[in-house]
């Protein structure tokens, strides 16, 4: 069955370190999204991509970057982790022309 | 700008009906969605409604849409303890971008 996976599921890191969160989908979806979930804020869009080599900034993109070298993967990199980036991160994907997004299980990131 | 608002918490007794409410701002949204998030998991699409519909029923779930007031509701009949979760309302962003705008989420607590 097609699916979307994220790794690691839990990560603890220190302030200033570079961290990369992986997202892999086997739906063959062109659209992929990264969100962070924080209490009181719901889901906020960090970055998104409509296809290979395409990346776009969302509403909370500062301190994050993404790259899209193939259809299946959209890794999220925190260039220099900050305590404010402690959060739960979700990856999602959707078909072109469809709005329904399918979500991964999430990565809980703690920055000490 | 686009915004989606939900109340944060709802508590009901098992067997009662639950009604989760949502308001949105973008009248051009084509689709409106309800997602469910169980503890420690990603978001799962529950149901959606096309903007030219007033109501959609799917087993125990009823979605009502009032376009004039930009109000969306999700009614769960015969609520069970397994329905305890966070429910997110989302609207499709303007311009057929594939992006979704999420509310803050409503935590539904079902008491036995």
Task: Indicate if the pLDDT at residue A112 is higher than 70.
Answer: yes
Q: What is the CA radius of gyration of chain A?
A: 13
Residue B95: the pLDDT is 73
Alpha carbons A64 and A20: distance in angstroms, whole number: 10
Q: What residues of B are in contact with residue A42 (Cβ under 8 Å)?
A: 4, 88, 102-105
The answer to whether A38 and A106 are in contact (CB under 8 A) is no
Nearest-by-CA chain A residue for B39:
A105
- Taking only the tens place, the pLDDT of each residue in A75-92 is 999 999 999 999 999 999
Nearest-by-CA chain B residue for A106:
B42
Residue B52: the pLDDT is 85
Residue B1: the pLDDT is 61
Q: Which of A35, A94, A102 sits opposite B98 (nearest CB)?
A: A94
Task: Indicate if the pLDDT at residue A16 is higher than 90.
Answer: yes
The answer to whether A23 and A73 are in contact (CB under 8 A) is yes
For residue B60, give both structure tokens: 């125990």
- Taking only the tens place, the pLDDT of each residue in B49-63 is 988 889 999 999 999
Contact check, Cβ <8 Å, B98/A105: no
Using a CB–CB cutoff of 8 Å, tell me whether A89 touches chain B.
no
Q: How many CB atoms lie within 10 A of CB A84?
A: 11
Residue B53: the pLDDT is 85
Residue B84: the pLDDT is 96
Q: What residues of A are in contact with residue B41 (Cβ under 8 Å)?
A: 105-106
Nearest-by-CA chain A residue for B50:
A99
Q: Which of A31, A42, A43 sits opposite B98 (nearest CB)?
A: A31
- Taking only the tens place, the pLDDT of each residue in B58-96 is 999 999 999 889 999 999 999 999 999 999 999 988 777
Task: Indicate if the pLDDT at residue B26 is higher than 90.
Answer: no
Name the one residue in this structure whose structure tokens are 């906020």.
Answer: A44
What mean pLDDT is predicted for residues B30-59?
Answer: 91
Phi and psi (nearest 5°) for B22?
-150, 140
Residue A39: the pLDDT is 83
């Amino acid at each position: 069955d097609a699916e979307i996976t994220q790794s690691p599921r839990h990560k603890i890191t220190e302030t200033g370190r570079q961290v990369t969160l992986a997202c892999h989908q086997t739906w063959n979806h062109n659209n992929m999204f990264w969100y962070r979930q924080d209490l009181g804020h719901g889901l906020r869009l960090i970055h998104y991509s409509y296809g290979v080599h395409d990346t776009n900034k969302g509403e909370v993109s500062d301190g994050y970057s993404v790259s899209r070298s193939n259809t299946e993967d959209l890794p999220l990199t925190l260039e220099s982790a900050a305590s404010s980036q402690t959060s739960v991160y979700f990856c999602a994907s959707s078909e072109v022309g469809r709005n329904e997004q399918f979500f991964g299980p999430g990565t809980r990131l703690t920055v000490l | 700008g686009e915004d989606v608002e939900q109340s944060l918490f709802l508590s009901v007794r098992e067997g009662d009906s639950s009604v989760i409410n949502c308001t949105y701002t973008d009248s051009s949204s084509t689709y409106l969605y309800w997602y469910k998030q169980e503890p420690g998991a990603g978001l799962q699409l529950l149901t959606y409604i096309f903007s030219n519909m007033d109501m959609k029923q799917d087993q125990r779930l009823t979605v009502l849409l009032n376009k004039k007031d930009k109000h969306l509701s999700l009614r769960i009949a015969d609520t069970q303890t397994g329905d305890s979760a966070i429910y997110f309302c989302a609207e499709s962003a303007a311009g057929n971008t594939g992006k979704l705008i999420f509310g803050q989420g409503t935590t539904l607590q079902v008491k036995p």
